[in-house]
């Protein structure tokens, strides 16, 4: 594995993705794994759950550049997963979202270059594509910062890339806990019966990030081929006996999500299990990974036009594996 023998740091390491990444990374032969996050209680709980001398913890915030200088000392690879991502909270606290998701991304980029980090891969979101809420807008800015970071390195060799995927099964803020809570009342609130979303498990998300870390040359946005699901099918999987209450689409919410737009398509190559959106850098011409095919003009990768779908039974197995 690419992590073998390396010193790795993950920001937001006590979140849903972070916990799964730590579990997967410690199964490799890495040298050191640093968890960087703001919540000392979650770090304490994680340290009690996972006893491994290679695991260490930094209490810190990506807004604090000085703390990042200390934490990234001697680090080979950075996985940037820290973000404010609750859409209503970001709408109500816009400057806080900007400080963490945008300024924090800039801090990671600058400190990684100065500390000689070899590779940085940042987690994005389908919300960053044609954003209609502040969270999506900040993630779009973050993506742009990390892609552009490859032009800021000067004589340094630090490389930056981005991984973009959709909703994660079992993550905090997922609709699943919300549905499970309402199930006991015999009713499930649905925003719109037409709504679709991309769907990925935590395990597959982590594996794809590690794969991107291994493949990256700097500047790419990696997009996995993942299935779509209908929100009404998810409701049927969780509470088949429940009545659906149509409440309407909330502010800042889309009917369908997009991960590659028609404009992105001009720079996009398709592979068997993923897409790569190449950066519009002159030095990137001819630098695309072998085996990819240019997607056709006007291509769009959206949750409603997907060719792979999860059925009610598929969703039930994911949500209620036991």
Question: Which residues are tagged catalytic?
Answer: 127
Alpha-carbon gap, residue 314 to 85, rounded angstroms:
27
- Residue 309 is given by DSSP the state B
Please name which of 287, 102, 129 lies closest in space to residue 198, comparing C-alpha atoms.
129
16-25 helix and 202-215 helix, angle to the nearest 10 degrees: 60
Alpha-carbon gap, residue 92 to 84, rounded angstroms:
12
Q: Report the run of H or E that residue 12 belongs to, with start and end.
A: none
- First-to-last CA distance in the chain? 31
Q: Is 3 exposed, middle or buried (0-12, 13-18, 19+ CB in 10 A)?
A: buried
Please name which of 147, 144, 269, 21 lies closest in space to residue 9, comparing C-alpha atoms.
21
């Amino acid at each position: 594995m690419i992590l073998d023998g390396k010193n790795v740091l993950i920001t937001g390491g006590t979140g849903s993705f972070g916990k799964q990444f730590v579990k997967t990374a410690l199964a490799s032969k890495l040298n050191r794994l640093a968890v960087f996050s703001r919540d000392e209680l979650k770090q304490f709980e994680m340290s009690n759950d996972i006893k491994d001398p290679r695991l260490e913890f930094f209490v810190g915030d990506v807004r604090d550049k000085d703390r990042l200088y200390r934490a990234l000392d001697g680090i080979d690879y950075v996985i940037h997963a820290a973000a404010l991502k609750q859409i209503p909270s970001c709408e109500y606290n816009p400057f806080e979202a900007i400080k963490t998701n945008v300024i924090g991304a800039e801090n990671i980029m600058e400190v990684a270059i100065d500390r000689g980090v070899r590779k940085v891969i940042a987690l994005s979101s389908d919300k960053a594509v044609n954003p209609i809420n502040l969270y999506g807008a900040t993630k779009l800015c973050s993506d742009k910062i990390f892609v552009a970071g490859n032009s800021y390195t000067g004589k340094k060799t630090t490389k930056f890339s981005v991984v973009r995927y959709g909703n994660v099964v079992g993550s905090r803020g997922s609709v699943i806990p919300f549905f499970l809570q309402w199930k006991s009342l015999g009713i499930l609130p649905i925003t719109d019966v037409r709504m679709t979303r991309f769907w990925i498990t935590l395990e597959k998300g982590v594996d794809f990030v590690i794969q991107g870390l291994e493949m990256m040359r700097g500047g790419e946005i990696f997009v996995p081929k993942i299935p779509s699901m209908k929100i009404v099918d998810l409701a049927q999987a969780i509470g088949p006996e429940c009545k659906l209450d149509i409440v309407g689409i909330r502010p800042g919410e889309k009917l369908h999500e997009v991960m590659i737009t028609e404009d992105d398509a001009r720079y996009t190559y398709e592979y068997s299990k993923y897409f790569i959106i190449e950066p519009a850098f002159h030095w990137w011409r001819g630098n695309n990974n072998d085996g990819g095919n240019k997607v056709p003009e006007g291509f769009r990768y959206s949750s409603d036009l997907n060719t792979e779908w999860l059925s009610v039974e598929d969703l039930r197995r994911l949500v209620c594996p036991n």
